[in-house]
Homo-oligomer: A and B are copies of this chain.
Amino acid sequence: MIDGVEKVLKEKGKLIEKEIEGVIPRKGIPNLHDAIWYHMGTGGKRIRPVLAIMACEAMGGKTDKVLPFAASCEIMHNWFLVHDDIEDGDEIRRGQPAVWKRFGKDHGINIGDYMSEKVYALIFSSLKRGVNESTVIRLIEETIFTCSRTAEGQTMDMNLRRNDSPTERDYFQSIEGKTAYYFMHPIIGGCIVAGAKDDVIKKVREFGLRAGPAFQIADDLLDLTEGKGRDEIGCDIKEGKRTLMAVNCYDRCSLDERNNLIRILNKPREQTSKEDVLWVKELFERHDSMDYAAEKARSLVSEAKEIISDLPEELKNILDQFADYLIERKK
Protein backbone atom coordinates (compact mmCIF):
# COMPACT_ATOMS: atom_id res chain seq x y z
CA MET A 1 0.00 0.00 0.00
CA ILE A 2 1.01 3.63 0.05
CA ASP A 3 4.09 4.36 2.20
CA GLY A 4 3.05 5.95 5.42
CA VAL A 5 -0.61 4.93 5.47
CA GLU A 6 -0.05 2.44 8.26
CA LYS A 7 2.05 4.97 10.15
CA VAL A 8 -0.55 7.74 9.88
CA LEU A 9 -3.30 5.32 10.84
CA LYS A 10 -1.38 4.23 13.93
CA GLU A 11 -0.61 7.79 14.97
CA LYS A 12 -3.88 9.48 14.01
CA GLY A 13 -6.48 6.70 14.11
CA LYS A 14 -7.58 7.58 17.63
CA LEU A 15 -7.81 11.28 16.77
CA ILE A 16 -10.15 10.52 13.87
CA GLU A 17 -12.30 8.40 16.18
CA LYS A 18 -12.42 11.30 18.64
CA GLU A 19 -13.58 13.73 15.97
CA ILE A 20 -16.44 11.39 15.12
CA GLU A 21 -17.33 10.98 18.79
CA GLY A 22 -17.61 14.76 18.96
CA VAL A 23 -20.70 14.69 16.71
CA ILE A 24 -21.98 11.13 17.22
CA PRO A 25 -22.03 10.14 20.90
CA ARG A 26 -21.35 6.49 21.68
CA LYS A 27 -24.22 6.38 24.10
CA GLY A 28 -27.36 8.10 22.96
CA ILE A 29 -30.68 7.21 21.37
CA PRO A 30 -31.21 3.45 20.95
CA ASN A 31 -31.39 2.30 17.32
CA LEU A 32 -29.48 5.38 16.20
CA HIS A 33 -26.21 6.09 17.96
CA ASP A 34 -25.63 2.48 18.97
CA ALA A 35 -26.39 1.41 15.41
CA ILE A 36 -23.83 3.81 13.94
CA TRP A 37 -21.11 2.65 16.34
CA TYR A 38 -22.09 -0.96 15.70
CA HIS A 39 -21.51 -0.30 12.02
CA MET A 40 -18.26 1.63 12.59
CA GLY A 41 -17.08 -1.23 14.80
CA THR A 42 -17.42 -3.83 12.05
CA GLY A 43 -14.10 -2.62 10.67
CA GLY A 44 -13.13 -0.79 7.55
CA LYS A 45 -9.64 0.37 6.72
CA ARG A 46 -10.15 4.08 7.57
CA ILE A 47 -8.11 4.76 4.45
CA ARG A 48 -10.14 7.83 3.45
CA PRO A 49 -9.35 9.97 6.48
CA VAL A 50 -5.71 8.93 6.25
CA LEU A 51 -5.55 10.05 2.62
CA ALA A 52 -7.06 13.41 3.60
CA ILE A 53 -4.44 13.89 6.31
CA MET A 54 -1.57 12.81 4.05
CA ALA A 55 -2.69 15.11 1.23
CA CYS A 56 -3.03 18.06 3.60
CA GLU A 57 0.39 17.45 5.13
CA ALA A 58 1.94 16.96 1.69
CA MET A 59 0.67 20.40 0.70
CA GLY A 60 2.06 21.98 3.85
CA GLY A 61 -1.21 22.12 5.81
CA LYS A 62 -1.59 21.45 9.52
CA THR A 63 -2.84 18.02 10.60
CA ASP A 64 -4.95 19.48 13.36
CA LYS A 65 -6.95 21.55 10.90
CA VAL A 66 -7.76 18.65 8.57
CA LEU A 67 -8.93 16.17 11.20
CA PRO A 68 -12.64 17.16 11.12
CA PHE A 69 -12.74 16.97 7.34
CA ALA A 70 -10.84 13.66 7.43
CA ALA A 71 -13.42 12.26 9.84
CA SER A 72 -16.24 13.53 7.60
CA CYS A 73 -14.85 11.39 4.77
CA GLU A 74 -15.11 8.29 6.94
CA ILE A 75 -18.71 9.05 7.92
CA MET A 76 -19.64 9.79 4.31
CA HIS A 77 -18.20 6.46 3.23
CA ASN A 78 -20.07 4.59 5.93
CA TRP A 79 -23.35 6.41 5.27
CA PHE A 80 -23.11 5.23 1.65
CA LEU A 81 -22.44 1.67 2.82
CA VAL A 82 -25.43 1.68 5.21
CA HIS A 83 -27.78 2.81 2.43
CA ASP A 84 -26.09 0.73 -0.30
CA ASP A 85 -26.63 -2.44 1.69
CA ILE A 86 -30.38 -1.72 1.87
CA GLU A 87 -30.54 -0.81 -1.81
CA ASP A 88 -28.66 -3.94 -2.86
CA GLY A 89 -30.27 -6.24 -0.31
CA ASP A 90 -26.84 -7.17 1.07
CA GLU A 91 -27.33 -8.80 4.45
CA ILE A 92 -23.68 -9.07 5.46
CA ARG A 93 -21.15 -6.26 5.79
CA ARG A 94 -17.60 -7.00 6.87
CA GLY A 95 -18.63 -10.44 8.12
CA GLN A 96 -21.45 -9.20 10.33
CA PRO A 97 -25.16 -8.48 9.81
CA ALA A 98 -25.61 -5.25 7.86
CA VAL A 99 -27.16 -2.36 9.84
CA TRP A 100 -30.60 -2.76 8.23
CA LYS A 101 -30.53 -6.51 8.90
CA ARG A 102 -29.79 -5.92 12.58
CA PHE A 103 -31.86 -2.75 13.25
CA GLY A 104 -34.56 -2.94 10.57
CA LYS A 105 -34.90 -1.22 7.20
CA ASP A 106 -36.82 1.76 8.58
CA HIS A 107 -34.12 2.53 11.12
CA GLY A 108 -31.46 1.77 8.51
CA ILE A 109 -32.69 4.48 6.16
CA ASN A 110 -32.98 7.01 8.97
CA ILE A 111 -29.53 6.10 10.35
CA GLY A 112 -28.00 6.85 6.96
CA ASP A 113 -29.85 10.16 6.78
CA TYR A 114 -28.51 11.10 10.20
CA MET A 115 -24.97 10.17 9.18
CA SER A 116 -25.28 12.34 6.06
CA GLU A 117 -25.94 15.35 8.33
CA LYS A 118 -22.97 14.45 10.49
CA VAL A 119 -20.74 14.69 7.42
CA TYR A 120 -21.60 18.38 7.33
CA ALA A 121 -21.50 18.73 11.10
CA LEU A 122 -17.89 17.48 11.07
CA ILE A 123 -16.83 19.84 8.30
CA PHE A 124 -18.57 22.63 10.17
CA SER A 125 -16.56 21.83 13.29
CA SER A 126 -13.40 22.74 11.34
CA LEU A 127 -14.20 26.35 12.27
CA LYS A 128 -13.23 25.54 15.85
CA ARG A 129 -9.82 24.42 14.59
CA GLY A 130 -9.13 27.78 13.04
CA VAL A 131 -10.07 26.84 9.48
CA ASN A 132 -11.54 30.05 8.08
CA GLU A 133 -15.10 30.49 6.82
CA SER A 134 -14.13 30.65 3.15
CA THR A 135 -12.27 27.36 3.41
CA VAL A 136 -15.19 25.71 5.21
CA ILE A 137 -17.48 27.01 2.46
CA ARG A 138 -15.13 25.45 -0.13
CA LEU A 139 -15.15 22.12 1.72
CA ILE A 140 -18.94 22.16 1.88
CA GLU A 141 -19.17 23.00 -1.82
CA GLU A 142 -16.85 20.11 -2.62
CA THR A 143 -18.87 17.76 -0.41
CA ILE A 144 -22.18 18.71 -2.04
CA PHE A 145 -20.53 18.15 -5.42
CA THR A 146 -19.11 14.74 -4.49
CA CYS A 147 -22.26 13.42 -2.85
CA SER A 148 -24.51 14.63 -5.67
CA ARG A 149 -22.29 13.09 -8.34
CA THR A 150 -22.09 9.85 -6.38
CA ALA A 151 -25.88 9.63 -6.05
CA GLU A 152 -26.21 10.31 -9.78
CA GLY A 153 -23.68 7.55 -10.41
CA GLN A 154 -25.61 5.23 -8.13
CA THR A 155 -28.76 5.87 -10.19
CA MET A 156 -26.88 5.15 -13.41
CA ASP A 157 -25.42 2.00 -11.87
CA MET A 158 -28.89 0.74 -10.91
CA ASN A 159 -30.21 1.65 -14.35
CA LEU A 160 -27.30 -0.15 -15.98
CA ARG A 161 -28.06 -3.37 -14.10
CA ARG A 162 -31.49 -3.37 -15.69
CA ASN A 163 -30.18 -2.47 -19.14
CA ASP A 164 -30.23 -5.37 -21.60
CA SER A 165 -28.16 -3.63 -24.26
CA PRO A 166 -25.47 -1.89 -22.23
CA THR A 167 -22.69 0.01 -23.99
CA GLU A 168 -19.16 0.90 -22.91
CA ARG A 169 -20.30 4.53 -22.74
CA ASP A 170 -23.04 3.60 -20.25
CA TYR A 171 -20.45 1.75 -18.20
CA PHE A 172 -18.00 4.64 -18.05
CA GLN A 173 -20.68 7.22 -17.34
CA SER A 174 -21.89 5.13 -14.46
CA ILE A 175 -18.51 4.51 -12.81
CA GLU A 176 -17.35 8.06 -13.45
CA GLY A 177 -20.34 9.21 -11.41
CA LYS A 178 -20.29 6.51 -8.80
CA THR A 179 -16.56 6.12 -8.21
CA ALA A 180 -14.34 8.73 -9.82
CA TYR A 181 -15.34 11.87 -7.91
CA TYR A 182 -15.91 10.09 -4.64
CA PHE A 183 -12.50 8.54 -4.98
CA MET A 184 -10.57 11.78 -4.92
CA HIS A 185 -12.74 13.54 -2.36
CA PRO A 186 -10.48 13.01 0.69
CA ILE A 187 -7.38 14.10 -1.20
CA ILE A 188 -9.06 17.16 -2.70
CA GLY A 189 -10.43 18.19 0.69
CA GLY A 190 -7.00 17.72 2.26
CA CYS A 191 -5.55 20.00 -0.43
CA ILE A 192 -8.28 22.61 0.17
CA VAL A 193 -7.55 22.72 3.91
CA ALA A 194 -3.87 23.20 3.09
CA GLY A 195 -4.81 26.13 0.85
CA ALA A 196 -3.78 24.47 -2.41
CA LYS A 197 -4.37 26.41 -5.61
CA ASP A 198 -7.24 25.64 -7.97
CA ASP A 199 -4.98 24.19 -10.68
CA VAL A 200 -3.62 21.59 -8.24
CA ILE A 201 -7.16 20.58 -7.28
CA LYS A 202 -8.20 20.46 -10.92
CA LYS A 203 -5.36 18.05 -11.66
CA VAL A 204 -6.17 15.83 -8.70
CA ARG A 205 -9.75 15.64 -9.95
CA GLU A 206 -8.58 14.81 -13.48
CA PHE A 207 -6.33 12.13 -12.01
CA GLY A 208 -9.38 10.66 -10.24
CA LEU A 209 -11.37 10.57 -13.46
CA ARG A 210 -8.79 8.05 -14.73
CA ALA A 211 -7.74 6.34 -11.52
CA GLY A 212 -11.32 5.84 -10.26
CA PRO A 213 -12.45 3.88 -13.31
CA ALA A 214 -9.12 2.00 -13.29
CA PHE A 215 -9.85 0.97 -9.72
CA GLN A 216 -13.33 -0.18 -10.66
CA ILE A 217 -12.10 -2.21 -13.62
CA ALA A 218 -9.40 -3.81 -11.46
CA ASP A 219 -12.16 -4.62 -8.99
CA ASP A 220 -14.30 -6.18 -11.73
CA LEU A 221 -11.33 -8.31 -12.80
CA LEU A 222 -10.47 -9.37 -9.25
CA ASP A 223 -13.97 -10.74 -8.87
CA LEU A 224 -13.23 -13.22 -11.67
CA THR A 225 -9.73 -14.15 -10.54
CA GLU A 226 -9.24 -13.75 -6.80
CA GLY A 227 -12.90 -13.35 -5.80
CA LYS A 228 -12.33 -10.04 -3.95
CA GLY A 229 -11.27 -11.91 -0.83
CA ARG A 230 -14.58 -13.76 -0.68
CA ASP A 231 -14.79 -17.54 -0.89
CA GLU A 232 -16.02 -17.60 -4.46
CA ILE A 233 -15.44 -15.90 -7.76
CA GLY A 234 -18.15 -14.36 -9.92
CA CYS A 235 -20.21 -12.44 -7.34
CA ASP A 236 -20.60 -9.63 -9.88
CA ILE A 237 -22.11 -12.08 -12.37
CA LYS A 238 -24.56 -13.32 -9.75
CA GLU A 239 -25.50 -9.74 -8.95
CA GLY A 240 -26.05 -9.05 -12.64
CA LYS A 241 -23.43 -6.32 -12.83
CA ARG A 242 -22.67 -4.94 -16.24
CA THR A 243 -18.88 -4.86 -15.85
CA LEU A 244 -16.47 -3.62 -18.50
CA MET A 245 -15.91 -7.25 -19.50
CA ALA A 246 -19.65 -7.76 -19.88
CA VAL A 247 -20.26 -4.67 -22.02
CA ASN A 248 -17.18 -5.38 -24.12
CA CYS A 249 -18.08 -9.02 -24.61
CA TYR A 250 -21.66 -8.05 -25.42
CA ASP A 251 -20.31 -6.16 -28.45
CA ARG A 252 -18.03 -8.95 -29.60
CA CYS A 253 -20.01 -12.14 -29.13
CA SER A 254 -22.69 -13.79 -31.28
CA LEU A 255 -26.39 -13.07 -30.89
CA ASP A 256 -26.96 -16.42 -29.18
CA GLU A 257 -24.11 -15.84 -26.76
CA ARG A 258 -25.35 -12.33 -26.07
CA ASN A 259 -28.84 -13.56 -25.23
CA ASN A 260 -27.46 -16.22 -22.92
CA LEU A 261 -25.12 -13.72 -21.24
CA ILE A 262 -28.00 -11.33 -20.48
CA ARG A 263 -30.22 -14.22 -19.39
CA ILE A 264 -27.62 -15.33 -16.82
CA LEU A 265 -26.94 -11.77 -15.61
CA ASN A 266 -30.68 -11.22 -15.17
CA LYS A 267 -31.19 -14.37 -13.08
CA PRO A 268 -31.87 -13.75 -9.40
CA ARG A 269 -28.65 -14.15 -7.43
CA GLU A 270 -29.62 -17.40 -5.74
CA GLN A 271 -30.59 -19.02 -9.05
CA THR A 272 -27.24 -18.38 -10.73
CA SER A 273 -25.29 -21.67 -10.74
CA LYS A 274 -21.54 -22.26 -10.70
CA GLU A 275 -21.90 -23.49 -14.27
CA ASP A 276 -23.49 -20.17 -15.23
CA VAL A 277 -20.56 -18.28 -13.72
CA LEU A 278 -18.00 -20.47 -15.46
CA TRP A 279 -19.82 -20.18 -18.79
CA VAL A 280 -19.70 -16.38 -18.54
CA LYS A 281 -16.06 -16.34 -17.49
CA GLU A 282 -15.14 -18.58 -20.45
CA LEU A 283 -17.14 -16.34 -22.76
CA PHE A 284 -15.21 -13.31 -21.52
CA GLU A 285 -11.92 -15.17 -22.04
CA ARG A 286 -12.85 -16.43 -25.49
CA HIS A 287 -13.61 -12.91 -26.66
CA ASP A 288 -10.51 -11.43 -24.96
CA SER A 289 -12.70 -9.19 -22.81
CA MET A 290 -10.64 -9.73 -19.67
CA ASP A 291 -7.46 -8.76 -21.53
CA TYR A 292 -9.30 -5.77 -22.93
CA ALA A 293 -10.33 -4.66 -19.45
CA ALA A 294 -6.84 -5.19 -17.99
CA GLU A 295 -5.31 -3.17 -20.81
CA LYS A 296 -7.89 -0.42 -20.31
CA ALA A 297 -7.07 -0.24 -16.59
CA ARG A 298 -3.35 -0.02 -17.32
CA SER A 299 -3.79 2.70 -19.89
CA LEU A 300 -6.07 4.72 -17.55
CA VAL A 301 -3.44 4.47 -14.81
CA SER A 302 -0.70 5.68 -17.12
CA GLU A 303 -2.91 8.59 -18.26
CA ALA A 304 -3.59 9.37 -14.60
CA LYS A 305 0.13 9.43 -13.80
CA GLU A 306 0.83 11.66 -16.77
CA ILE A 307 -1.66 14.25 -15.50
CA ILE A 308 0.03 14.62 -12.14
CA SER A 309 3.59 14.64 -13.44
CA ASP A 310 4.17 18.29 -12.56
CA LEU A 311 2.34 18.39 -9.21
CA PRO A 312 4.34 19.17 -6.05
CA GLU A 313 6.65 16.22 -5.36
CA GLU A 314 5.14 15.02 -2.09
CA LEU A 315 1.54 15.05 -3.34
CA LYS A 316 2.57 13.48 -6.63
CA ASN A 317 4.32 10.72 -4.69
CA ILE A 318 1.13 9.84 -2.79
CA LEU A 319 -0.96 9.79 -5.95
CA ASP A 320 1.62 7.73 -7.84
CA GLN A 321 1.63 5.06 -5.17
CA PHE A 322 -2.13 5.20 -4.99
CA ALA A 323 -2.32 4.50 -8.73
CA ASP A 324 0.11 1.58 -8.47
CA TYR A 325 -1.78 0.10 -5.56
CA LEU A 326 -4.98 0.14 -7.59
CA ILE A 327 -3.78 -2.23 -10.23
CA GLU A 328 -1.52 -4.36 -8.07
CA ARG A 329 -3.81 -5.14 -5.16
CA LYS A 330 -4.99 -8.70 -4.74
CA LYS A 331 -8.15 -8.25 -2.71
Contacts and interface: CB of A to CB of B under 8 A. Distances in A.
Interface of A: 29-32, 83, 86-88, 105-107, 109-114, 116-118, 120-121, 124, 127, 133-134, 136-137, 140-141, 143-144, 147-148, 151-152, 154-156, 158-159
A143 B124 CA distance: 11
A152 B23 CA distance: 13
- Report copies per complex: 2
A147 B106 contact: no
B136 A110 contact: no
A172 to B, nearest CB: 15
Contact of A152 (B87, B106, B114, B133): B114
For the residues of A in contact with B, the DSSP-based class is helix
A93 B267 CA distance: 32
A120 B112 CA distance: 17
A120 B137 contact: no
B87 A106 contact: yes
A38 to B, nearest CB: 14
Nearest to A152: B29
Contacts of A87: 105-106, 109-110
Contacts of A141: 124
Nearest to A155: B32
A148 B119 CA distance: 11
